[in-house]
Amino acid sequence: MTFDNLITEKKDGIFTITINRPDKLNALNKNTIYEIGKAIKEAENDADTRVVILTGAGSKAFVAGADISEFSSFSEAEGAGLAKHGHDVFKSIENSSKPVIAAINGFALGGGCELAMSCHIRVASETAKFGQPEVKLGLIPGYGGTQRLPILIGRSKALELLMTADMIGAAEALALGLVNYVTTPDEMMIKCREIAGKIAQQAPLAISGIIRCVNKLYDKEDVNFETEIEEFGKCFVTQDFTEGTTAFLEKRKANFKGV
């Protein structure tokens, strides 16, 4: 299968997906999210594939978030629809029967951090930076960040990162348990392939059973993606959202009023 915004490669049982919009820091527009879903499905259906590696093109970004230029004029329903579509694709990653390893080569912000968190294992380059900066746009995270971040790093630190929009480096992400390993930029893919190689030697049905069981642990009513989708949609009719997205596109600081 060929894609507009992804490069895919199959080798030695590893299916590598590279998000390829480096001049936009691999920001997730609608088509890119759709294509990630297609590529994950392709990997699931490919009998030779044992493990998937997901990374970003270029040295600067894994993914710098959802594409702000695409959604700045959305209505509440369109905003909620955008979140729902992202949730469906990210859940398909989390529930994939084949393990997905995120190779985080740079900025993993907003939807990029959320994308990495929907993967099963995370390996970060020491140049990676993580954050949920949506509040700077008058928004909340819309692809699972309000749920998966507290699950991974705990409620208190998650709330701090979600509300301050602070970015953290790879070493802090490792200390918080947000990533499994930090490597030099050159060693990042080597480490991913080493982990993938170990998993690829195991029984595939047992691997998919482990994923199902571990996911079940978090498949509780209080993991509430629906509330996130609803609250994300509500932000789109606020003046603060218009101000936040306009300020980003005009490369200036936003002035929020609480309306």
- The sign of the torsion formed by the CA atoms of 222, 223, 229, 232 equals positive
> Which of the stretches 7-15, 64-72, 150-158, 169-177 binds ligand COA when contact is defined by CB under 6 A?
64-72
240 makes contact with ligand COA (CB under 6 A): no
Q: Which long-range contacts (CB under 8 A, 24 or more apart) does 229-232 make?
A: 229/80, 229/83, 229/84, 229/87, 229/142, 230/80, 231/140, 232/79, 232/80, 232/82, 232/83, 232/139, 232/140, 232/141, 232/142
114 is catalytic: yes
- In the region spanning residues 66 to 95, those forming contacts with ligand COA, defined by CB under 6 A, are 66-69
* Of 15 and 130, CB closest to ligand COA: 130
94 is catalytic: no
| # binding residues, ligand COA (CB under 6 A) | 16
Q: Is 61 left (phi over 0), alpha (psi -120 to 50) or beta?
A: beta
* Of 111 and 144, CB closest to ligand COA: 111
Q: Smallest distance, Å, CB 170 to ligand COA?
A: 15
- The sign of the torsion formed by the CA atoms of 78, 257, 65, 83 equals negative
* Of 82 and 199, CB closest to ligand COA: 82
Q: Mention every residue, 6+ apart, whose C-beta is less than 8 A from residue 72.
A: 242, 245, 246, 249
| Three-state DSSP state, 31 | helix
Find the catalytic residue in 35, 94, 114, 228.
114
- In the region spanning residues 11 to 50, those forming contacts with ligand COA, defined by CB under 6 A, are 24-25, 27
- In the region spanning residues 120 to 159, those forming contacts with ligand COA, defined by CB under 6 A, are 133-134, 137
* Of 136 and 191, CB closest to ligand COA: 136
Residues near ligand COA (CB under 6 A): 24-25, 27, 64-69, 107, 109-111, 133-134, 137
Instruction: Give the active site residues.
Output: 114, 134
